[in-house]
Amino acid sequence: MTKTEFVAKLAERMDVPKTKAADFVNAFIDLVTDSLKEGEKIQLTGFGIFKVNHRPARTGKVPNSNQVRKFPARNVPVFKAGKQLKDATN
């Protein structure tokens, strides 16, 4: 499902115009992004947890050329599904 399809279904379910539903979706995305940038964890009980994990610097080989390459440390966003979401999809 694309963002446009999601917005259309949300608008239909909430009985609001698509522009209003798009505003809701964009606000949610912005809030999650801003919170993760600040290092906060977002826990939506039953749905899941959005958080940032730190990946330390490491070295590895490039498969095609066998050259050793250094990969810098970085933060990566992670979503862990909650129990209710897991149960609903199984």
Tens digits of residue pLDDT in 43-73: 999 999 999 999 999 999 888 888 899 999 9
**Element containing residue 19 per DSSP (H, E):** helix 18-37
**14/26 Cα distance (integer angstroms):** 16
Q: 41-90 maps to which CATH number? A: 4.10.520.10
Q: What is the pLDDT of residue 50?
A: 97
Q: What is the pLDDT of residue 31?
A: 96
62 or 24, greater pLDDT: 24
Q: What is the pLDDT of residue 78?
A: 96
Q: Distance between alpha carbon 39 and the CA centroid of its chain, in Å?
A: 14
Q: What is the pLDDT of residue 64?
A: 87
